[in-house]
Structure formats: structure tokens, C-alpha cells
Structure 1
Amino acid sequence: MDYRIIGDSCLDLTPEMKKEGKIRIVPLTLHVDGVDYRDDETFDQKNFIAVVAASQTGPKSSCPSPEDFKQAFGEDDVPAFCVTLSAELSGSYNSALLGQRLSQEDHPDKKIHVFNSRSACIGETLIALKIEEYAEAGASFEAIVEKVEAYIRHQETFFVLDNLETLRKNGRLTGVKAALVSVLNIKPVMMATPEGTIEQCSMGRGTKKALKKMVEEVGNKVSDFENRIFGISHCNCLERAIFVKEEIEKRYPFKKIVIADTAGVGTMYANDGGVVIAF
């Protein structure tokens, strides 16, 4: 069937996905010290990292409007699937639902489903790939929704960041955890809960030890590696992403590993050197 896949701009595209152009991205807007940065193809990651590092107040973001999502769904009856940031972390999911309502007012027969990823970054990416897999295999709209919602319920997301300040300033973490990172060089291994919130599950002294701890957590969560794609998002630190990939390959036989650099929203929260994994 004909179909569309839409993601908000926290969905990190791999180089291959960018080349294929099958996924339409609806950008969030990032704000730093009164300046707006649109999270689209014009986003300059290195410049944004420098701007955030110099800011005393830190960055914030605003989600796309319902009208933005409506336009992405298309002015026709082609079925559309949308993947957004965790509803616990952003208003993007609710905005997409309103966009769905607007679209279906004009096109009552149009099928649209908005997936709350309960994740972010590469977690959203893997969900989009799963939608594409089922759609290309000829599954019905209803079957895709059922299968992908089940996939989301069993997906795991972890991350290790050098800098937790943005998460702290935006109310996602306590100040104590952020202080541990800056003062003691303790790097927490964080994870997404089934509800899409964030909690700490482990920690390591220094980034490399924390990344290894994160890799160890993978084996505690799943065993059906051969049926899963493993995803890595990194913020301006490809060497760390490759290190994680190599550590994963030593231990677990995932059927495929994909790597993406963070777009604007992922860069805002992960900060320079952050690594996010999902599987």
C-alpha cells in the first residue's frame, strides 16, 4: 500500500535514511538566549553546541504546531504513520494528535496513527524502521499499528551523557545527579522507563566505563538479539558510537546495527559527547 512515515525532529536519520528520503521530518524549534534555531536541514550542530556551551540559561525547545503535522500527513487519503518524542518529555505527541484531528476533518477516510515512542533519538528511528518493514511486507494499516505498538512496549532505550545540565535545567533530572557528573566525573547510565520518563540504572567513573556498563545492561534486558536492530545516536562523537558498536558486537548477535548523528533536539539534550542506544 501507499503510506507515509512522519517523525518529529528528535527522530535521528541515518545517512542511508537521509539518502532514501522516505521519512518526512517535522521540525521542532530550539531557543537559546533569545535566538531561534529551526531543527531542519539548516541546523548546524557544531555551532549550536558552542552557543549552548556559552549560554548561562541553557536551551529550550518548542514543539511543532498541529498545522505542521497536518501538512506532513498530506492533503489526500494516503495512510500516514507518525512517530514522536515521548509524551512525558515533550508536547510533540499531543500536537501530532491535534494535527491528526485537523487532517481527518478534511479527509474523513484518511487513516493516521500517531505513535508515542516513549523514547527519543535512535529509539524513534528504530520505530520508523519497524513501520517501514511491516508496510513493505504488505501488512494492513491496522496490523502495522498493532505490531508497532507491541514493539514500542518492548523497546529499551539507554544513554550516557558527558553533561546533564540541559536535562536538569529543563526539569528532567535532579541537581544532585548533575553535580555528580561535574564534580566527581561520575557518569550515570540512564534509561527510559516503560512510561517514557527517565531514571538512572547504573553509573561508571569516566565515560568509557559508563559506556561499558550501558553495554552490560543490554544483556540484562533482551535475549532475542537475532530478531532485533540495535541503534546508536551520538552527539558529535562518532568514535564513542563505534566503541559501543564494537562492544555490542563482541557480546550480542543483533541482526543489524545502525548509527546516526543527533539532529537538533537530540543535540540539545545529549550535549557534546552524548551517546543514546535503543534496541
Structure 2
Amino acid sequence: MYKIIIDSCGELSEELKADGHFSNVPLELEVDGYMIRDDESFDQKDFLRRVKESIKGPKSACPSPESFMSAYEGPEENVYVVTLSSKLSGSYNSAVLAASLYEDEHEEHKNIHVFNSKSASIGETIIGLKIQEFEEAGLPFEEVVAKVEDHIASMNTFFVLETLETLRKAGRLSNLKAMIANTLNIKPVMGSTKEGTIQQLGQARGMKKAMVQMVQDAIKCTKDCEKRVLAIAHCNCPERAQFVKEQVEKLAKFKKIVIVDTAGVSSMYANDGGIILAL
């Protein structure tokens, strides 16, 4: 028996929620002193309204070790944990500490491995699906871990933002650069590094051109597309997700394409109108 635990930056589709093997451990969000739990109670529209009206911008707090320890409980012998990139959040360190504490406090042996996704959002979900694929194939725990770590090393995550305001408010972008980008309708194409940080890969005038460029960049750096799952997460813009899917299908054939709406933490990063692509 196995379970796959993903911190709430990783979206779970309704299908995965009903699967029985997947669960989320929620992060906490805060906007101007208002606390929001990133779980089933998350109200995306209310959150985006608060973010838009906020002067300081939103913040997030990783789950406590106790939250992860509680998720580790149960009859499952193999427990796999997928967290937001350790370069972006303390979620990974919290999950690792929880695994050590769990072993100290329990006599029965349980296999627990924490994966640093070096990604975010739907990238974490893809890793969860890969874990399930190897588990259902009957591979032993150690082999599942090794193969999934290899898969993480080959993954890429891309995103395009409608607005740079959240990055500006968080101090990650100068006021001048944000103003110029908004005035000229310049949309940066962003992506993950192999270390799990964020980098700008390019830019385009307008969202449609930026999304096309994002898809082209993604396909260009991906091998064996037909063996991979490609996932698209959108923040309150399903029509853009569909557009990205159509652009992907023009260039390559994938094993499966998944589209989900962003949950809390991903909505904070993507902001209203943002698109995330992972493969």
C-alpha cells in the first residue's frame, strides 16, 4: 500500500482527489493580515480581489512538521511526499524534518521519501502521477524513488504572467521595470532552473504571443514527448489554457494533457490570468 502527499502548491484534479492515493498538506496564505488556508475552503475570486487591493501583496507560510507528520499516519507502508521547490519555500525542509520525527516516535517501520520537486504547481502533480505509475507497475520503493528523481531532473516548468504587480509588491521586481512592462504590454516568459529557482527566458508583446513562445520553448527542450504527461494550470482563465493546449497539439503529441485551475499558492504566484505549463 502507498500514499502520495503533495503540498498544496500542487493542484489535485477531481479525479486524483477521488483516487484514494493522493492528498494535500495545506500551506497558509496571508494578505494584509487576513489569513487563508490553502485547502478545500480556498476562494480564488475573493483571494484575487484581496491581492489586487493589497498594497503589500500576499505572503505564504509552509506547512508545519506536525502537519506533515499527521499526513504520514495510516496503514500505507510506502509514503511519497512532493513539495514546492526548496529554493522557493520551506515546505521541503519541513517535510524532511517531519519524516525524521515520525521515525523517532513510531516503532513500526514505514518507507518515507520527500521529493524536492524543483518546480511548483502542476509540476508537483506530474511528479505525483509518475510515482503512481511506477507503484502500480509493482516496482520496489527504492526503485520508484530513483526513477522519479531521474524524472524530476528531466522536467521543465514554464509560466507567463498577465501582471507583474505581485512580483513588484514582493520586492522581486523594480517599480520601473513593472511600469514599463505594463505600459508596453510586455509579458515575460518565465521558467524553472535545474536548481529550482525562477528565471526569465524571454518576453513578448501581449499574452497570446507570450503563450505561443512559451509552448515553443517547452517543446524545444523536451525529448520523448509521446511518453510524457503535459500539464497546464491556469489562474481564472480557462480559455487561455485551452489556447495553450491547442498550440501544444500543433507541435507535438503527448501521452496525456491535463488542465486544472490553480489552487491557493499557485494563484499567488501566477496571479489573475497567469498560465503555468509543466512537462
Q: How does 1:1-279 map to 2 (within 5 A)?
A: 2-74=1-73, 78-107=77-106, 109-173=109-173, 175=175, 177-279=177-279
Q: Give the conservation status (yes or no) of the 8 Å contact 1:79–1:112.
A: yes
What is the alpha-carbon distance in structure 2 between the residues aligned to residue 173 and residue 154 of structure 1?
29
Structure 2 residue matching 1:239: 3-state secondary structure: helix
Shift of 1:218: 1.7
Whichever residue aligns with residue 202 of structure 1, its letter is G
Stretches of structure 1 lacking an aligned partner (at least 5 in a row): none
Shift of 1:176: 5.2
Stretches of structure 2 lacking an aligned partner (at least 5 in a row): none
What is the alpha-carbon distance in structure 2 between the residues aligned to residue 186 and residue 276 of structure 1?
17
What is the alpha-carbon distance in structure 1 between the residues aligned to residue 178 and residue 19 of structure 2?
39
Q: Residue 76 and residue 20 in structure 1: after superposition, are their counterparts in 2 closer, same or farther (change >3 A)?
A: closer
Please, what TM-score do these two structures have when normalized by structure 1?
0.96
What is the alpha-carbon distance in structure 2 between the residues aligned to residue 174 and residue 90 of structure 1?
22
Structure 1 residue matching 2:144: 3-state secondary structure: helix
Q: Give the conservation status (yes or no) of the 8 Å contact 1:15–1:260.
A: no
Whichever residue aligns with residue 248 of structure 1, its letter is V
Q: Residue 77 and residue 16 in structure 1: after superposition, are their counterparts in 2 closer, same or farther (change >3 A)?
A: closer
Please, what TM-score do these two structures have when normalized by structure 2?
0.96
What is the alpha-carbon distance in structure 2 between the residues aligned to residue 233 and residue 86 of structure 1?
17
Structure 2 residue matching 1:102: 3-state secondary structure: helix
What is the alpha-carbon distance in structure 1 between the residues aligned to residue 191 and residue 45 of structure 2?
26
Q: Residue 171 and residue 81 in structure 1: after superposition, are their counterparts in 2 closer, same or farther (change >3 A)?
A: farther
Q: Give the conservation status (yes or no) of the 8 Å contact 2:17–2:23.
A: no
Structure 2 residue matching 1:250: 3-state secondary structure: helix
What is the alpha-carbon distance in structure 2 between the residues aligned to residue 261 and residue 58 of structure 1?
21
Shift of 1:90: 0.4
Shift of 1:19: 3.0
Q: Give the conservation status (yes or no) of the 8 Å contact 2:11–2:125.
A: yes
Whichever residue aligns with residue 100 of structure 2, its letter is R
Sequence identity of aligned pairs in percent? 55
What is the alpha-carbon distance in structure 2 between the residues aligned to residue 242 and residue 100 of structure 1?
39
Aligned residue pairs total 278
Shift of 1:29: 0.5
What is the alpha-carbon distance in structure 2 between the residues aligned to residue 171 and residue 105 of structure 1?
40
Shift of 1:18: 2.5
Q: Residue 143 and residue 243 in structure 1: after superposition, are their counterparts in 2 closer, same or farther (change >3 A)?
A: same
Structure 1 residue matching 2:162: 3-state secondary structure: coil
Q: Give the conservation status (yes or no) of the 8 Å contact 2:56–2:170.
A: no
Whichever residue aligns with residue 167 of structure 1, its letter is L
Whichever residue aligns with residue 95 of structure 1, its letter is S
Deviates more, 1:227-236 or 1:13-22: 13-22
Structure 2 residue matching 1:20: 3-state secondary structure: coil
RMSD: 1.4
Q: Give the conservation status (yes or no) of the 8 Å contact 1:75–1:103.
A: no
What is the alpha-carbon distance in structure 1 between the residues aligned to residue 262 and residue 202 of structure 2?
23
Q: Deviations over 1:228-267 (max 9, x none)?
A: 1111010010000000001101110111100111000001
